[in-house]
Structure formats: structure tokens, C-alpha cells
Amino acid sequence: MSASLDVVTFGEAMMMLVADRPGPLELSEAFHKRTAGAETNVAIGLARLGLKVGWASRLGADSMARYLLNAMQGEGIDCSHVVCDPAQRTGFLIKGRVTDGSDPPIEYHRKGSAASLLGPDDIDTPWLTSARHLHATGVFPALNANTYAAAERTLQLMRAAGRTISFDPNLRPTLWPSTERMREGINALAAQADWVLPGVEEGKILMGSDDPVAIARFYRDLGAKLVVVKLGPDGAYYDSDSTGTGHVAGFPVAQVIDTVGAGDGFAVGVISALLAGRGVPEAVKRGCWIGARAVQVLGDTEGLPTRAELEAAGL
């Protein structure tokens, strides 16, 4: 049976309010409305490149939920497994502006949100395994024990079905009860994935080293067929079954506007290229290019290219 979807992902989408000028959030008076969420950022990016993408989650039945659902459906994403619950509320966040290339200040308002109630019983196995690939991150399982169990179940089901799985640690330390629990939980999920995409700073937290070679070897020893370690402006280092090891240089950026979403853009590039049958170095190069685009725009998804833009860049 041919897969009806290329990629599925589970996770919380939030409405994001981005300040229109730099400075402390309390001094900002005007905001731009955007979508946010690590998994949905990747879903949007892959859909723009022409892949058939499904996203599963829970939202409230409020205006924020309607905004998010309209945005995702507008990108062509299958939202048939998004539940809108009138008894629950949709999460949102407020993000500041910076001018020095640092990470912007962010305030989350997501505790007890509808998405945090999604559990393993909500997984529609036939729908999930109709896809040829699952993209998972460390954000959704960090919300609580319920969502961790759901994330764990999706990986187990896709692994048993012989599908490929990508995993981005995407660490959110404030969501976990402790660094130890985060390290243990994230690495257990990563051990189920085929392609693992850690950042070099995440490696320091998760396995005690900021050496890209050591980080890659750690996750390869856990079972990953490919590990790509993100090095920020310096590009990425990879270690794979098929191609061995190598380094891909980063793309120069004139001005960093917003660092949030760069890792998600990187994942879009790597996943889309690998699913299209491209080699690892090509996939990593595409990831670096999209990641560089992402840091030059205000929101999380504005820098994600269309298929035409990707082809125009020769990637």
C-alpha cells in the first residue's frame, strides 16, 4: 500500500504575538500575530516544498485555535486529526525583538493547554502509519507525562511499521522537572530515531561534550543511521551509515533578525532532501541554506522557501 502522506508530526501549535520594536516586552505596545510551534514550523516548511504533511494535536475552540487551524490548512496541511475542544484553551506566547543577533525574550502561556492533554489513546494508528516518515521533537514530550507517552508511542508504531523517523532534541529545559529527567527522556526518544539532529550546545547538555564528532558518535552508538550536528553559523557536521562523516559550511547572513525557528528550518531542508532521495551532503547543505534564511526574518516560518525558491537556489 502506498503511503497517503509523506510526513506526519504531533505537537503543540501556539499563537505568537511578536513585538514590533526592540526593547523590554513590558514597553512594547504593538504586536504582530504569527504561528509558533516546533513541529508545526517543520510541517509548514515541508508542505511549502510540496510534500503531503499531516499534523495531529489538540486546540481550544477559541479565536486563537481558529487562527492556527486556518493557517495550517492554508499551507495544505492535513489537519483531520486536530481536535478542537471547547472545554480547553489554546496556548500562546509573546516574543520580543532584539537587534544584536541574540535569542529574543519569550514568555510562554501554555501550561494546561489543550495540546498538553493529548495522550497515547489519541493516536490513530492507521492514519499515522499511512505516512512514510515521522518527524518528532523534544518539545511535545516535554509538556507532561501524558504527551511523553504519546510521543513514545508514535515512535514505536512508526518504527514497527518500518517507516523512517527524524528527531530534533529541541530542548526546552523549563518544561522538564529536572535536567536529569530531560537528558534521560530525550535520549530515550532519540534512540528510536533514524535521523537525529542535535545542536552543538544541546550535545553539551545531553551527553557532556560540545565536540561535534563526539556528539554524533554518541547518537550513532544509540542506533541512529544519520546524525547531523548543527553548528550555527559554522554549518553542520554529519556522521552517517551511507556517506561516512563530513562538514558542510554555513551560508553567510548579512543580519540576524530572529534566531527562533532556525533549527526547524534546518530540519525542513534535511528531511525534504532525504525523502527525495538526495545524498547526505546535499541534504545537510539544503538544511544550512534554509536555516540561514530563517534567521533573517521576524517570524518562525516567513523564511521557509517554496519549491520554486528552492529550485531557483539550485538546491
Active site members: 264
| CA gap 237, 5 in Å, rounded | 30
On whether the CB atoms of residues 114 and 90 are closer than 8 A, the answer is yes
The edge-to-edge listing of strands for the beta sheet with 92-95 is: 31-36, 14-19, 92-95, 106-109
| End-to-end C-alpha distance for the chain, whole angstroms | 30
| Alpha carbon distance 233, 32 (integer Å) | 27
Give the up-direction half-sphere exposure of residue 15: CA atoms within 13 A in the CB hemisphere: 20
CB 18 within 8 A of CB 34: yes
- DSSP letters spanning 30-70: -EEEEEE-HHHHHHHHHHHTT--EEEEEEE-SSHHHHHHHH
